[in-house]
Structure 1
């Protein structure tokens, strides 16, 4: 029998697939709606799924502790996991898993080539990272949904730490469909915000404006942050952006942010942080590997981010940590 850590590592790919399929086919939502343990047959009939295949998936999920199975073979979602498995919850992992399964997983085999030939050599014959993520409307929709689920809930915790009272405008660079902007606008009367993104994302921001009734407060500016200067603002926000790029590109983006910021303005870097010794945490280490195949960057320590901020001209940098995987590093333009 394998040691526990190795067992979970070896068989984890099956668990990830099972969680994704259960989320995709509404199993978790159905179990949560029932409010009591449900046998496989009843789930299969209600969701029009093959009972044998479903039973095998549920057994895997129960063995990993994702769901609970009672002595009668009926299943329910543990209370502590409900916020992450409920498709209606802002903390649901469903959108992120769809992106992992439909985009990231297909690119992981590139790691083999990276190990033997290096990333630059392998990537030379491949399309640019975001050309893949925005290749089709379906992939764009899945990527935007994943970014919402990774961003909105934690943003509600980060916004109060950002000290936006008195700030009139925020520019969210690469802000997807606007999850950080929505959290900021909900918490800050008098604030307006702009998402600066590739043109393909515009319709998703328009949907966000309608869904959250933010006409006149949230708008969209089409642009390429590699080629274009940023619109002027009092606050530039980067959420999961700098970790996608090299130090050189990250520094250039921060210099653009410095030029865009009014005097006394600030930049918000919201990202996963490695511990000072780079020994963890686990989600940061995993996503650091993901950045290697999905983008061109890496995850950093707080000190490394502060170094980039100071090189771009920002001062009085501060680190403010959330209770989740995403944290805040602030720099000020004096």
Structure 2
């Protein structure tokens, strides 16, 4: 018999599309709304084929996603429900869609990357977000995935950031505003500006209208490679820097330092590797998708601290988080003696820059 870890890794290629299919056909929302049911009852209610559904449910039972009684009734475990219930803010259905459609379609590229290297395959001036923003539907699907990944953990990260003394948050590459919304809820006196590509503005406006935020949430269009950031006392990068190599991260952090008001802070929010780089699993998996979908990688807290200090930030800290998303804080001080001497960017910074300016999956 195969070791269980190897077995689950082998059959994961089947599990992800089945998770997505069950979500798309409302299997999870049916179980969340109606409670336990047999494959026949669920199939009748959803107008799907009973035999195919039962086989899918048996697979999801084997993966411990759902439960099955000896009488053949399926149900959602309590710890699973928030993540597969579309009515819960922790719902991950949008991200499942991204994995099943965008990420899966790019997996064959890994063979070419492995044999020839990413740069040789992609060319000198890749545009990693052109496909994700290829049309309105693709853009909405991508931003929905980002919301599903970001909003729930953003509540904890906003609390960890300590926003009581902040007045103006600038969310660089903030998309439709998941972190900005969490921050505004955490601090009633805060204002927030999302700085992103012009095509993102309608989606941010939807968030502003839905949550009745008025002029507390605004949008500033721009390209974060070429345009100056709006000024604020809190500059945030929510799952942005993991999209880019070190020299581009350093460039962006130096621009953040310039835009950050004296005694302000920069917030870097991302998945982190353990110091040993042996996990967590989600970080290791997403680190591989960075190879497929972006130019970046995931880092340890110490690696982000080094980048922040090279950009001029001091007193960097990583408050403990209970989720798989983490916060690294850097402070801007006017005391030059406290800042580490800045190093020049790597020679790689002379390469042509990518043309997309939005951050990606973390």
Q: Same fold (TM over 0.5)?
A: yes
Deviates more, 1:287-296 or 1:64-73: 64-73
In 2, the alpha carbon distance for the partners of 1:86 and 1:219 equals 30
In 1, the alpha carbon distance for the partners of 2:237 and 2:184 equals 16
In 2, the alpha carbon distance for the partners of 1:166 and 1:149 equals 28
In 2, the alpha carbon distance for the partners of 1:71 and 1:242 equals 48
Aligned residues, how many? 333
- Structure 1 pair 47/294, CA: closer, same or farther in 2 (3 Å)? same
Deviates more, 1:117-126 or 1:197-206: 117-126
Tell me the secondary structure at the aligned position of residue 133 of structure 1.
coil
In 1, the alpha carbon distance for the partners of 2:252 and 2:313 equals 13
Deviates more, 1:68-77 or 1:324-333: 68-77
**Structure-to-structure mapping, 1:206-245, within 5 angstroms:** 206-245=205-244
Shift of 1:26: 0.7
In 2, the alpha carbon distance for the partners of 1:34 and 1:127 equals 47
Shift of 1:125: 8.4
In 1, the alpha carbon distance for the partners of 2:107 and 2:223 equals 26
Provide structure 1 residue ranges, at least 5 long, that are not aligned to the other structure: none
Tell me the secondary structure at the aligned position of residue 131 of structure 2.
helix
> Is the Cα–Cα contact under 8 Å of residues 128 and 293 in structure 2 kept in the other structure?
yes
Deviations 1:249-273 (A, max 9, x none): 0000000100101111110000011
Deviations 1:17-54 (A, max 9, x none): 1111111111101011112x201111112111122221
In 2, the alpha carbon distance for the partners of 1:312 and 1:280 equals 27
**1 or 2 for the larger relative contact order (CA 8 Å, sep ≥6)?**
2
**Structure-to-structure mapping, 1:1-334, within 5 angstroms:** 1-35=1-35, 37-124=36-123, 128-334=127-333
Provide structure 2 residue ranges, at least 5 long, that are not aligned to the other structure: 334-362
Shift of 1:192: 0.5
Shift of 1:321: 2.5
In 1, the alpha carbon distance for the partners of 2:27 and 2:61 equals 13
Deviations 1:70-120 (A, max 9, x none): 112121111111111111111111011011111111111111111100000
Tell me the secondary structure at the aligned position of residue 224 of structure 1.
coil
Tell me the secondary structure at the aligned position of residue 216 of structure 1.
helix
> Is the Cα–Cα contact under 8 Å of residues 66 and 76 in structure 2 kept in the other structure?
yes
Shift of 1:201: 0.9
TM-score, L = length of structure 2: 0.90
In 2, the alpha carbon distance for the partners of 1:272 and 1:294 equals 16
Tell me the secondary structure at the aligned position of residue 273 of structure 1.
coil
In 1, the alpha carbon distance for the partners of 2:125 and 2:32 equals 42
Deviates more, 1:119-128 or 1:91-100: 119-128
TM-score, L = length of structure 1: 0.98
> Is the Cα–Cα contact under 8 Å of residues 163 and 186 in structure 2 kept in the other structure?
no
Tell me the secondary structure at the aligned position of residue 32 of structure 1.
helix
In 2, the alpha carbon distance for the partners of 1:191 and 1:324 equals 24
In 2, the alpha carbon distance for the partners of 1:38 and 1:12 equals 25
Runs of 4+ in 1 over 2 A off after TM superposition: none
In 2, the alpha carbon distance for the partners of 1:288 and 1:67 equals 28
- Structure 1 pair 251/126, CA: closer, same or farther in 2 (3 Å)? closer
Shift of 1:126: 8.8
